[in-house]
Amino acid sequence: MRTRWGRTLFAKGRFPAIAVAAPSGIVIGAVLGLLAASLGVGGSASPILVGVVFALCLTFPSTMLVYILVVDRSTMAGAAERPEESVESAWYDKAAAGALTDIILVAGLAAAVLSFLPTRYSVDPGLLMAGVLGFASLSVAVRYLLQRLRG
């Protein structure tokens, strides 16, 4: 039987997936909030406040992660039978392949430019990698939109 939110992969699909994901996500969020508070992530801020804020911020992503792990797509109303064969999947494949070429080109140019910088200028590797990831995401997004417009 297909439902809007789907059923679980385990227990012969007797449970709605969201009924398993919601309590699990709340528990995971609370545990991560406690961990953040106990590690002193907030610095001089109140550990209780830090724990509550972390728990609130991490509960929804944790719930969605558990939901993705436990839902059986074949029990969801309107879900594609074979999503890997969809038009959107083909658009994404083409966009990702083109973005790889963009990344190699930009990384090569950036390496050439950075090799000629004087030693008194330092480049933060973390910031550099964040820039590469940002560029890769932007490249895939733009190429995907172009594929979508072309049909």
Angle at 27 between CA 26 and CA 32, to 5 degrees: 100
* Beta-sheet pairing, 71-72 with 7-8: antiparallel
Mean pLDDT, the chain, integer = 88
Taking only the tens place, the pLDDT of each residue in 44-97 is: 889 999 999 999 999 999 999 999 999 888 888 777 777 777 888 889 999 999
Best CA proximity match to 102, nearest among 137, 128, 127: 137
For residue 4, pLDDT over 80 is answered with no
Instruction: Say what the pLDDT of residue 138 is.
Output: 95
The C-alpha atoms of residue 102 and residue 139 are separated, in whole angstroms, by 7
**Cα pseudo-dihedral 78, 84, 87, 92, rounded to 10:** 120
For residue 119, pLDDT over 80 is answered with no
Instruction: Say what the pLDDT of residue 39 is.
Output: 92
The C-alpha atoms of residue 117 and residue 47 are separated, in whole angstroms, by 44
Residue 139: count other Cβ atoms within 10 Å of its Cβ.
19
Which whole number is the average pLDDT over 120-126?
Answer: 78
Structural Rg of the chain based on CA atoms: 22
Instruction: Specify whether the CB–CB gap between 139 and 102 falls below 8 A.
Output: yes
Ordered alpha helix ranges (H), the chain: 17-38, 47-70, 87-115, 125-150
> 146 CB contacts (<8 Å, ≥6 apart)?
95
Taking only the tens place, the pLDDT of each residue in 19-46 is: 999 999 999 999 999 999 999 888 888 9
